[in-house]
Structure 1
Amino acid sequence: MKHLNKLFVAMLMLAGLSSQAQDGNNPWAVSFGVNAVDTRVSAASKLEDQFSQYFNATDNWNILPTVSFVSVSKHIGGNFTFGVTGSMNKITKFVLPRVNNGPYEVVNPGDLNYYALDGVITYSLMNLINSKKLDPSINFGGGYTWLGDESSAGTLNGGLGLTYWFTENIGLSYRTTYKHSFEDSRADMPSHSQHFAGLTFKFGGSDKDGDGIYDKDDACPEEAGLKQFNGCPDTDSDGIENSKDACPEIAGPAEYNGCPDTDGDKIADNVDACPEVAGLAAFGGCPDTDGDGVQDKEDKCKDVKGPKENGGCPWPDRDGDKVLDKDDRCPDVAGTVANNGCPEVTEEAIKRLNDYAKTILFDSGKASFQQQTYPVLQAIVAILKEYPNSNFSIEGHTDSDGKDAANQTLSENRAAAVKNYLIENGIAASRLSSAGFGESKPIDTNKTKAGKANNRRVEVKLVK
């Protein structure tokens, strides 16, 4: 008895060394309970008699009213487990062979101690019946049995079992085993059957994150998750696991990789530069209210269409001549499109200029102005300013008095004097040119005083 106690302690220590499931998740199991030994099969003379009343003659069973077996097993792959069972009993009922086909006689062989140590390979049929509670099995193996103080023998074992799992880890188990002895006599060791009933505990599975999915099957063993995602979490419960969710903290549809589209512009918030306001993909989800191709945050006139070059605002036309200021060379004076927004010089204006020019008076033989000429020059300045985009040529002429060379020089100097006065009074130099023609282009006779006066003149011409 003391040897069997040592065996039980050793087997329990072996069970304590593991921490993983009999089915692959919890690979280890320990069972304990009561066992019954029946020697009837040894007494039967025919094979059919050995098993015909296998469970009917329970009156012949030897049972101890205490825990009398311990089994430790480990899942070894597929539906197979391997285990070691240690059991003890006391044989007070021994079935003798029948005499002349008479009844079986049951005797007490002397309260013989019974000890057995068996190795068992078990094949589970649970998957075949597609059950999560009932676990039928077949088993085979071998062991060694001690009967009394002098009899012992090796046995070849085979049998059936059934476990009902109350939970994933706790079950009620029953196993019956036929043990064939190679020393088949009462004096040594008869073949016999042994039955085991007790509780089975599976253990050893690791589930660090406590999500009900064992670490070996858990793709995210450090973080509690869902079975449909192999143990990985879906924090925002949008049906997309965190590793594939671009917005794991905020629920969103799969079409946007788990991100929401708050403004409904079909651009996910995580890539939407303006997630609260519906906008366009071209502007990263930001709006363009006036549809001018300039997004609102860069549009200085977001309710009125305008070009990007002007900050989204329409180009102004200050003078209202239908030529935009950007193209209008005279933005503050109404003009014509043909003349780039500047007014066109009319024949009337040219006539007015030359009417004034004819009255310009110079000191005799010089290019200096007489005092009464300055108002005339100012009038010419005013007219030229009305046409800021037009260019003019100032031409000087003399009568025939004097030498030709002197008259040529005098005409050039007088034309230049008018040009310089105009420049000094605000007319751009780039708009003006001057030339002298001496006495070469008379408009009247040089034989009369009046004719000479007409030939001494300044003319203003439009340069086209």
Structure 2
Amino acid sequence: MGYTNIQSQDNNNPWQFSFGINAVDLDADTSTQFDEFFAVDENWNVSSGLSMFTLSKYLGDNLSLGLSGSVNSISKFADGYEFLNEVTYFASDMMLKYSLGEALDMQKMEPFVGVGLGKTWMDSSSWMTSNASLGMNYWFSDVWGLTAQVDYKLNMSDNGRGNTVMLDEGGSMRYSVGFSVKFGGTDSDGDGVYDKHDTCPEVPGLKEFNGCPDSDGDGIQDSEDKCPLLAGSLEYDGCPDSDGDGVSDNNDACPNEAGLASLEGCPDSDGDGIANSKDACPNVAGPRANRGCPWPDSDGDSVLDKDDDCPSEAGSVANNGCPEIYPSDEALAQLVDYSRTINFAFDSSEFTDGTPPVLDAIVEILMAYPKANFSVEGHCDSKGSKKVNQKISDKRAKAVVDYLTNSGVAASRLTAKGFGESAPIDTNDTRAGRANNRRVEIILVK
């Protein structure tokens, strides 16, 4: 978006007027050494006040034709020439200028070169000059800039032959700097974008869109906006998403109700992949085969009634919904692992903080096998007397049975027995080992 070197003089602003000051070096000619061109104090005659004026017109193809005039007071003359007083110096020049701004794409900086003819008046003499110029415009805005220019003016009087006195030794340098202003541009639709760079010159628009409009003010020009009269976002090509569901309104079958892209923007409250409008049970997930409603599981054993051989009696998935009499080897192994993590405080039947969640997991296993019976066996460490430890182990076994029955396991399926310190599973010489020995084990009874 945009265009190259917007500040260069062109058809938009074909006229350029420059004004500033100048300095003249009459000692410069084709034989002058390079460093002598910069002998300011010795050779430069610097004007005071505005003394250089240029008006130019853009012709096309980076070419401009300009007319300039300059005035100066000369007090530093070419070698071999002296005057009692300062001498007034006038010059009028015509220059064909070529802008390098487009070729070099330097944005605000616009270098240029030029050639032309001129006439110079000094004292009672005058002569024609052939000029070569090099300069730079620096544009702070579309119309205002700063211009610096160097001109070499070759004296053409008799081409250096005959008796004509050459007050400049055959050539001179003129240096100038000043301000420039461009004018004369056209803006047909009055939107502040010149017609040359206005993609929509007959319709008012915005500068950032090269003069094209953004009717809904959403930052997307109308030509690229799928919803040019409704403010939207770039993400949705200029269209709104009223319900904020990530589906633009123009593609949303339910534009005022947040939904899913996979369902054309319509909601699926139960997450079963069926839009609410087509779901017989929109708040309960179910399969498409049952119109979005769940298949029933009357006994709550996770085996659907349609697949359950015992739909009125809770069972296992492995036994097609019918109850298992004995736990599987995997369930028994899990039960052993859980029971060994039932821990108690020292000299107490009180559970440690991490034990209740373990007991809840044991309840879940026991409830899955309602016809199986279990022995709950309590143990303790070797601290204290055997009599006391036996009593504690009995209490620990009973504490576990009480927790399990209070959680729904039938008391008839459980027996409690204490073994004191007679069956340790770890050393009693360390605190950690003693904590492991304070335990209850749950054993399947066949």
Compare relative contact order (CA 8 Å, sep 6+) and give the higher one, 1 or 2. Answer: 2
TM-score, normalized by length of structure 1? 0.46
Q: Which structure has the larger Rg?
A: 1
TM-score, normalized by length of structure 2? 0.48
